């Protein structure tokens, strides 16, 4: 197997860090792009093994210079802003998801060694869809984040078809597992289970398609090796959905630990704006040979064991 140079944008984030850690097990040369103020706690123990570059996607000159220096074979575009309810700065939404992506695509036009750009999208682009959601359904985002991610993916598709930048878009539903963000559902549940402290949660009946992070990363790697290069879109989900309440109950069951939850029946605005659908994964299954291997119960148990061992990362 040849050694390739791989660039990961947004490597300090939940998906980006898990992808970085996975690819580091190969003999490829891993380059990560991070911002000046990026928190690298997810990569602290492996940082010396990485080629770390402080690069803002909004600085087109430095971005282009770095890309031409590195000459990547693969680029995984994981950089994002807006997925957390607290990330509401409209200017940052546009700069990160749209302008940053545009600058990346402009620079990649001159990278002749590029075999594939793997673009990360979000199920938020679908808007308030229900039941099984296919990739060819009309995207009707009703959140600023969903709108920006759809713009990002449309940009990637345009550059792929018109400028011949080989790309593929992976539309993620709700990945969960190790190194997830503080304040996210899986982290809050695991902290409550391990510390035995009560937990307050909203939107008990809001449904999500949860897919374990290991399955998600496998989908991204398969995408990079696939023959698809014209901006094709693939859903990445479990093909099932669970309510928040069901998810909490399952976590308690697999960990054999009681959890004290103070349920607020009031739905958060953030949850109202998402759909109650789940990924139709027929396209990715038939074309990339991908199916999730980890059940929700297995994923929750893996998460519980990891959080128990690494709770110091989340509790002072």
Largest Cα–Cα separation, the chain: 56
Query: What is the pLDDT at residue 86?
Result: 84
Encoded tokens for 273 = 């704006």
Q: Give the pLDDT confidence score for residue 10 in this predicted structure.
A: 97
Residue 83 has what pLDDT? 87
Identify the pLDDT of residue 137: 95
How far is residue 256 from each of residues 194, 197, 298, measured CA to CA in Å? Answer: 11, 15, 13
Q: What is the β-pairing status of strands 5-9 and 174-176?
A: unpaired
Q: How many other β-carbons are positioned within 10 Å of the β-carbon of residue 200? A: 11
3-class DSSP assignment, residue 211: strand
In whole angstroms, what is the distance from residue 78 CA to residue 10 CA? 5
Domains and CATH numbers, the chain: 5-174+210-236 (3.40.50.720), 181-209+241-275+294-313 (3.90.25.10)
Mean pLDDT per 10-residue segment, the chain (316 residues): 89 98 96 94 96 96 97 98 88 96 97 97 93 95 95 98 97 98 96 96 92 98 97 98 96 97 73 73 98 98 98 92
What are 160's two structure tokens?
């792929």
Whole-number pLDDT of residue 130: 87
Per-residue pLDDT, 276 = 75
273-292 exposure pattern, b = at least 16 Cβ within 10 A, e = fewer: bbbbbbbbbebbeeebebeb
d(CA 83, CA 93): 10
The model's pTM: 0.95
Instruction: Give the residue from 234, 97, 231 showing the smallest Cα distance to 160.
Output: 231
């Amino acid at each position: 197997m040849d050694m390739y140079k791989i660039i990961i944008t947004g490597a300090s984030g939940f998906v980006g860090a898990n992808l970085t850690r996975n690819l580091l097990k190969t003999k490829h040369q891993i380059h990560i792009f991070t911002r000046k103020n990026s928190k690298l706690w997810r990569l602290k123990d492996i940082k010396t093994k990485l080629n770390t570059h402080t690069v803002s996607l909004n600085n087109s000159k430095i971005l282009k210079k770095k890309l031409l220096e590195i000459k990547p074979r693969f680029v995984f575009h994981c950089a994002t802003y807006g997925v957390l309810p607290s990330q509401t700065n409209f200017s940052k939404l546009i700069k990160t998801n749209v302008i940053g992506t545009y600058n990346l695509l402009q620079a990649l036009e001159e990278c002749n060694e590029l075999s594939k750009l793997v673009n990360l999208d979000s199920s938020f682009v679908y808007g308030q869809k229900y039941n099984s959601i296919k990739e060819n359904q009309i995207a009707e985002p009703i959140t600023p984040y969903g709108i920006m991610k759809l713009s990002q993916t449309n940009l990637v598709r345009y550059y792929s078809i018109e400028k011949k930048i080989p790309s593929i878009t992976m539309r993620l539903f709700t990945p969960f597992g190790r190194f997830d963000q503080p304040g996210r559902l899986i982290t809050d549940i695991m902290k409550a289970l391990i510390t035995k402290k009560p937990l307050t949660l909203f939107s008990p009946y809001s449904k999500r398609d949860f897919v374990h992070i290991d399955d998600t990363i496998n989908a991204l790697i398969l995408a990079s090796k696939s023959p698809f290069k014209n901006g094709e879109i693939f859903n990445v989900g479990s093909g099932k959905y669970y309510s928040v309440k069901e998810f909490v109950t399952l976590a308690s069951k697999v960990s054999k630990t009681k959890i004290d939850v103070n349920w607020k029946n009031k739905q958060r605005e953030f949850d109202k704006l998402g759909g109650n659908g789940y990924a139709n994964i027929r396209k990715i299954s038939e074309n990339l040979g991908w199916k999730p291997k980890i059940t929700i119960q297995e994923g929750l148990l893996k998460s519980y064991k990891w959080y128990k061992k690494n709770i110091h990362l989340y509790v002072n």
